[in-house]
Chain A
Amino acid sequence: MFTGTDSYIATRELSTAVNAAVLLQKPLLIKGEPGTGKTLLAFEVARSLGKPLYTWHVKSTTSAQQGLYEYDAVSRLRDSQLADRGLESARINDLSNYIRKGKLWEAFESEEQAVLLIDEIDKADIEFPNDLLQELDRMEFYCYELQRTISARHRPVVIITSNNEKELPDAFLRRCFFHYIRFPDRETMEQIVAVHFPDLPQALLAKTLSAFYNIRDVKALKKKPSTSELIDWVRLLLASGVTHDDLTDLDTLTELPPYLGALLKNEQDSDLLGALKRKGARPY
């Protein structure tokens, strides 16, 4: 049973979803704001359940076939030209030497049940999820070159993340469990920061969190800072020896937090926050 790890705080909601997906052998689709630990979840699930992890990072050019296998015709042609009799030709006649296994195949072949992460599935072509329906449903696919069906020895735990860049087809969604990672509330956030920085003084933690949530409350921000940015920021603060006394001025709205660049990733947002602070500093 997955209940989170020493470095990953999972809400009861999330761990229920993970456990249900593991037990009923369905893929688990994870969505949520960027930086809320979607990708990290697969790593932590694999670690806590003690299973090997296979990660398949999807890009705009990725095709479903690449996750299964690729047949390298060019090297086989080259080899056949250069080969003598005997050993070499045996190698050339065996097609499996020229099949490059994809992540899905590797996960299927794993000796024990594996965790397979399909990261950012929404980055790929619009047809991509449809091409994987059968593979994820039956956990098998047919290899034309070898003329045999590859099926999973142990159905892997499949975790799929999406950033909502494009909509996924209904047929695909029907086969998945779905969990939307909500942005953590203050209480959960305190736990999250605490597992990363056990030595963080309580006063500083409270200050950083209020500064952080204040920034998140600014509605006009293009990209709100998320958990991973908060962690980076706290790390910076600690490394540079900032104490909670340095952060007291933030409440009076006259000063920008130090190392703001760790929290806000585009200049419009930084400008906006600066302007807000200046407005707050005005005497009238």
Chain B
Amino acid sequence: MFLDFFLLLRQHHLPVTLPEYLTLLEALRSDVAEPTIDDFYFLSKTTLVKHEQHLDLFDRVFGLFVTGRESVGAEGLPDIPPEWLRDAMQRSLSDEEKAALEAAGGLNALWERFRKLLQEQDERHEGGSKWIGTGGTSPFGAAGYAPEGFKTDKGAPGKGSGRALKVWEDRAYKNYADDIELNTRNLKMALRRLRILTREGADNELDIDGTIDRTSRNAGMLDIQMQPSRQNRVKVLMLFDVGGSMDEHIELCNQLFSAARYQFKHLEFLYFHNCVYETLWKDNTRRKDRIPTWEVLHKYNKEYKVIFVGDASMSPYEITAPKGSVEHYNEEAGLVWLNRFREQYPHLVWLNPMIPAYWSYTQSIDIVRKWSGNRMFPLTLNGLTGAMRSLKNPKVTFDV
């Protein structure tokens, strides 16, 4: 009978494996637990779940198993469309759209489908959050049920207006919010490749060669030599593109940032928007703590490995022309500044979260790629591995 439970967990994408299931059976057979539903719950939780992020989902699947009732996902939503939604619909829909809405079965039917969709999405448990929002072909898009529809309607009463998506986004990401560590292990392992091992600091290791050498010179009298242990002293300067088109890659960049912070002891990071100009930011909101780019170039010597992270997708003028920036009046073109970086730092790469197959269709990516000498790598595990190799040997490039 517990096989059903096990399969149900797997259906809901909880990573449970056969050995764990067998352990659970073994535990049930022993006299650890009394034959109550509570104890079964405790026992199955401790044997099957290995991440606290999965606990919430496990609880819900367990509830489903016990009651046989589908409660996953949309319980945060009321059964009938709330008033503010009706109001907003009335105000922001054109007559044609209203007719289309009626043809699709009216608001109540749509709401029901919306709830169902939410359930399915929640079960998949991945970043499917755009699914409903941007699904222009889904009934919701057609009926004006896109987030944009509500953004225009700030005056609508009720706290939910403008944030319809949030209702369940909050739900799905609840457990992930303060746990960016998730999934960064692979990234860390990739970043690990960038190592420059040097001996610095306190002597804590026996230097065998040195000891043999000195002992022989000492006519056989032991002369023990110690040396510092080898440690990674690589210096890394990371420059993140934030805002605008980078917003959709924010998750990935967060993970990279968290992994890099862990892996590199000497890590400096700065922020820019689209392209580097005469100032950079120390703060990712790009509001305060500006720092002149010249100062950066002077402060960090050429020993630093420079990693740009950005999608390099912008108007070509933002790179090639003076005064081309979207944000301010820049005296010198972005490319001039990029070239200064290239001259200063022999070891630099550009990590691009966009899919490489699309790179050639965006002119600005092409420019940046040429500037980097084909050292633009996709922000994937393989790309990252390649980029780390390139930082050690600039001859390593990435060809689309």
Contacts and interface: CB of A to CB of B under 8 A. Distances in A.
A24 B26 contact: yes
A85 interface: no
Interface stretch (B3-11, B44-52, B269-277, B392-400): B44-52
Contacts of B15: 170
Interface of B: 15, 17, 19-20, 23, 26-27, 30, 32-33, 38-39, 42-43, 45-47, 49-52, 55, 179, 181-185, 188-189, 192, 206, 211, 221-222, 224, 262
Q: Taking each of B26, B33, B38, B51, which has the highest tally of chain A beta carbons within 10 Å of its own beta carbon?
A: B51
Contacts of B38: 12
Contacts of A164: 179, 181
A175 to B, nearest CB: 9
Contacts of A16: 32-33, 39, 42-43, 46
A174 B17 contact: yes
A24 B27 contact: yes
Given A13-B42, A180-B55, A81 B221 contact: yes
Contact of A24 (B30, B182, B206): B30
Nearest to A80: B222
Given A177-B46, A180-B52, A78 B224 contact: yes
A169 interface: yes
B4 to A, nearest CB: 22
B185 A167 contact: yes
Contacts of A176: 50
Nearest to B47: A177
B257 to A, nearest CB: 15
A81 to B, nearest CB: 4
Contact of A174 (B39, B50, B183, B188): B50
Contacts of A17: 42, 46
A265 to B, nearest CB: 18
Which of A73, A167, A173 has the largest count of B CB atoms less than 10 A from its CB?
A167
13 contacts: A16-B33, A16-B39, A16-B46, A20-B27, A23-B30, A31-B52, A73-B206, A78-B222, A166-B185, A166-B262, A169-B185, A174-B17, A174-B20
Contact of A173 (B30, B50, B184, B222): B50
Contacts of A173: 50-51
Nearest to A176: B50
Contact of A167 (B30, B46, B181, B206): B181
Contacts of A28: 46
A177 B42 CA distance: 11
Contacts of B51: 173, 178
A234 B221 CA distance: 63
A126 B188 CA distance: 9
Nearest to B19: A174
A220 interface: no
Going nearest first, the 8 A-B pairs with the smallest beta carbon separation are A173-B50, A17-B46, A16-B42, A81-B222, A180-B52, A20-B32, A19-B32, A13-B42
Nearest to B226: A74
B19 A74 contact: no
Given A16-B39, A23-B32, A164-B179, A179 B222 contact: no
Contacts of A81: 221-222
A143 B183 CA distance: 35
Contacts of A13: 42, 45
Contacts of A165: 181
Contacts of B46: 16-17, 20-21, 28, 177-179
A20 B33 contact: yes
A164 B52 CA distance: 10
Interface of A: 12-13, 16-17, 19-21, 23-24, 26, 28-29, 31, 73-74, 77-78, 80-81, 126, 164-167, 169-170, 173-174, 176-180
Nearest to B208: A73
A12 to B, nearest CB: 7
Contacts of B211: 77
Contacts of B45: 13
B224 A77 contact: yes
A180 B55 CA distance: 9
Q: Among B33, B43, B46, B51, which residue has the most Cβ atoms of chain A within 10 A?
A: B46
A143 to B, nearest CB: 19
Contacts of A21: 46
Contacts of A23: 27, 30, 32
A224 to B, nearest CB: 12
A126 B189 contact: yes
A12 B262 contact: no
Q: Which of A17, A73, A81, A178 has the most CB of B within 10 A?
A: A178
B181 A166 contact: yes
A73 B226 CA distance: 12
Contacts of B32: 16, 19-20, 23-24
B211 to A, nearest CB: 8
Given A81-B222, A126-B189, A167-B181, A178 B42 contact: no
B185 A24 contact: no
A78 B189 CA distance: 40
A202 B200 CA distance: 59
A138 to B, nearest CB: 15
Contacts of B206: 73-74
A159 to B, nearest CB: 13
Contacts of A77: 211, 222, 224
Contacts of B39: 12, 16
A28 B20 CA distance: 14
A137 to B, nearest CB: 11
A97 B179 CA distance: 46
